[in-house]
Amino acid sequence: MTQENQPVTTQNENQIIAERRSKLTELRKVGNAFPNIFRRDNIASQLHEQYDERSKELLEESAVTVKVAGRMVLKRIMGKASFATIQDMSGRIQLYISNDHTGQDNHEAFKHYDLGDILGAQGKLFKTKTGELSIRVTNCQLLTKCLRPLPEKFHGLTDQEQKYRQRYLDLITNEETRKVFSIRSKTIHAIREFFVARDYLEVETPMMHPIPGGASARPFATHHNALDMSLYLRIAPELYLKRLVIGGMEKVFEINRNFRNEGISTRHNPEFTMLEFYEAYQDYTYLMDFTEKMLGEVAERVLGTRKIIYQEREIDLTKPFQRLTITQAIQKFHPEYTDVQLNDRDYLADKLQKLRIKTHSHDGIGGLQLSLFDETTEHLLFEPTFIIDYPAEVSPLARRNDDNAEITDRFELYIAGREIANGFSELNDPEDQATRFQAQVEAKDAGDDEAMHYDADYIRALEYGLPPTAGEGIGIDRLVMLFADSANIRDVILFPQLRRED
């Protein structure tokens, strides 16, 4: 990497870069090759919005002077006049550079500018004979030399790996990519406003945890030198956010990264963005209503509609989402399973073995039902669906159901076959929580390396009293995938994790 900072010898480079580098050398000789004195007054989209509809004649009469800057992405030289298209953060605008208006010297200099160079230009708006809004440039200057050639102007950058490694090139070339990240930004912004409007307090809790907790997952480990202690990148903020509710922050949310040291796939990146929120004096049924409302409003604000198209299928966020228990969901898609079978531990264990699905010896009926659901039904839940009543054995932080201690007041929301949200009434009984942690420790000792640790500090916090609370997590990347119609999580993360390049 340090090599990148050294002047690279031209013999190692292809001739295109060598050519551009020699142009830069010439620029250095005649002045500051990287001037920062140009200030623009206009951006492309604003000009189009304001003047696209104005007639050619009227535009000529009004003689609007504008000043723009951007990267040159197209260039057409025709002797004594040239056209160039520059691209800024908002879009594109065409420049007309000619001996008549720009001057011969300036035009000759322009001819040696390369695609990718950053230009500043000033001039009057006009319309070409095909009606395209353009700038008749009176002065054009090179603001930053681009030493490396851009991807091919028509096909753009298509190599998936290169799009991820050199995202800036992907952004320069592909309008679609710019749109995806605009949707991402708007989604997060809309969510933030949704919470702020409801008097939630936004907080940041630690990314480095002495005890990784709040989820079942393998953490990344690191070490603090001065304290000489092991730390883990957080797998979830949950236990810290609930400490805040104990402290009196009765409505809190955090939008931030989680890190899980597990596989990478089209749906998993080692670091991913999670929304978690907690509200005191509410329960999980409130959360389900709240989630329906939030997703509908966010979609409306980001996309202008609550009926989104994902991978050519419509997802309707306008109506209440279906709510099914785990066994109801299994039976909906697989009516061959009877109530008796689904509540028969031996039958389930046998069936799962036949389906070659891993089970643990300590799995109860609920755990086995969940395994069967994950395997046979989860991917079929395309329409937004809340799956409710998760077994207590797989929900160590959720409140037990008042009528059935084997299940918890918990749901997961599935859309397009993927888990999008996970919410529950929080377990606020410190003694039950201690028992559940103990069970996790036993599972860990039995070889489950995703099981939780015993967090004594969290138990101490609970002993001060967590008000009855509802809490939920929503995977932001997966939500953005839905909104941006992306099949791969890497397409909605600017710099997804990749292998080392060398």
d(CA 231, CA 253): 24
Q: 258 and 236 in contact (C-beta within 8 Å)?
A: yes
Applying CB under 7 A, which part among 62-70, 123-131, 246-254, 298-306 lies near RNA?
123-131
Nearer to RNA, 183 or 236 (CB): 236
Q: β-pairing, 81-88 with 91-98?
A: antiparallel
Measured from the CB of residue 236, what is the shortest distance to RNA in angstroms?
Answer: 9
Q: Write down the residue that tokens 């304001």 correspond to.
A: 50
Applying CB under 7 A, which of residues 93, 125, 147, 157 lies at the interface with RNA?
157
Nearer to RNA, 279 or 419 (CB): 419
Q: Cα-Cα-Cα-Cα dihedral of 290, 291, 292, 295, to 10°?
A: 120
Applying CB under 7 A, which part among 96-104, 222-230, 323-331, 359-367 lies near RNA?
96-104
Q: Write down the residue that tokens 């054995």 correspond to.
A: 393
Give which of 95, 76, 73 is closest to 152, Cα–Cα.
73
Three-class SS of residue 142?
Answer: strand
Residues of this chain, 52-91, that bind RNA according to CB under 7 A:
74-81, 83, 85
Nearer to RNA, 19 or 432 (CB): 19
Three-class SS of residue 47?
Answer: helix
Asked if residue 325 binds RNA (CB under 7 A), the reply is no
Residues of this chain, 327-386, that bind RNA according to CB under 7 A:
357-358, 374-375
Measured from the CB of residue 144, what is the shortest distance to RNA in angstroms?
Answer: 16
Nearer to RNA, 280 or 387 (CB): 387
Hey, how many other C-beta atoms are within 10 angstroms of the C-beta on 163?
21
Asked if residue 419 binds RNA (CB under 7 A), the reply is yes
Q: Token pair of 56, please?
A: 């050619």
Q: Write down the residue that tokens 């079942």 correspond to.
A: 216
Applying CB under 7 A, which of residues 215, 246, 298, 415 lies at the interface with RNA?
215
Three-class SS of residue 362?
Answer: coil
Residues of this chain, 136-155, that bind RNA according to CB under 7 A:
136, 148-155
What's 327's DSSP letter?
H
Measured from the CB of residue 289, what is the shortest distance to RNA in angstroms?
Answer: 21
Asked if residue 16 binds RNA (CB under 7 A), the reply is yes
Nearer to RNA, 5 or 130 (CB): 130
Number of residues that bind RNA (CB under 7 A): 77
Applying CB under 7 A, which of residues 25, 162, 338, 404 lies at the interface with RNA?
162
- Residue 320: phi and psi, rounded to 5, are -60, 140
Measured from the CB of residue 408, what is the shortest distance to RNA in angstroms?
Answer: 14
Give which of 60, 48, 49 is closest to 132, Cα–Cα.
48
Residues of this chain, 250-269, that bind RNA according to CB under 7 A:
260, 262-263, 265-269
Q: β-pairing, 313-316 with 307-310?
A: antiparallel
Asked if residue 12 binds RNA (CB under 7 A), the reply is no
Asked if residue 19 binds RNA (CB under 7 A), the reply is yes
Measure the CA angle with vertex 182, ends 176 and 188; round to 5°.
Answer: 140
Q: Could you tell me which residues come within 8 angstroms of residue 368 by beta carbon, excluding any fewer than 6 positions away?
A: 345, 348, 349, 352, 359
H or E element that contains 75: strand 65-77
Q: Token pair of 175, please?
A: 């309008």
Asked if residue 31 binds RNA (CB under 7 A), the reply is no
Asked if residue 99 binds RNA (CB under 7 A), the reply is yes
Beta strand spans in 270-321 (E): 271-280, 307-310, 313-316
Applying CB under 7 A, which part among 189-197, 277-285, 415-423, 434-442 lies near RNA?
415-423
Nearer to RNA, 103 or 467 (CB): 103
Nearer to RNA, 254 or 280 (CB): 254
Applying CB under 7 A, which of residues 96, 200, 437, 458 lies at the interface with RNA?
96
